[in-house]
Amino acid sequence: MAMTDVLSAEDIKKAVGAFSAAESFNYKKFFEMVGLKKKSPEDVKKVFRILDKDRSGFIEEEELKFVLKGFTPEGRDLSDKETKALLAAGDKDGDGKIGAD
């Protein structure tokens, strides 16, 4: 499954482009721009599975660094600071990884 099976290619391109500058990534705005906030829980889980490259059922810090590339190959890598902020926002139980729920 490709990201464009769930989200609009145009929305992805706009969102990734909006955060192309280093240290500009805002996960709340990004997920809103790509349309995830309007998607069903099942569609959100589909996106999660696409981003979970090692199929562990979790997205770990190393996978988060490349989250923009998970949406489009033209995406940049997140900085360590941006990656840690995204992990802190999604890691509800403090185990160093983000689960689908």
Positions at the binding site for Ca(2+): 52, 54, 56, 58, 63, 91, 93, 95, 97
Q: Which residues are annotated as a binding site?
A: 52, 54, 56, 58, 63, 91, 93, 95, 97
CA-closest candidate to residue 76, choices 86, 67, 84: 67
3-state percent breakdown (helix, strand, coil) of the chain, nearest 5: 55, 5, 40
Query: What are the tokens at 34?
Result: 């790509």
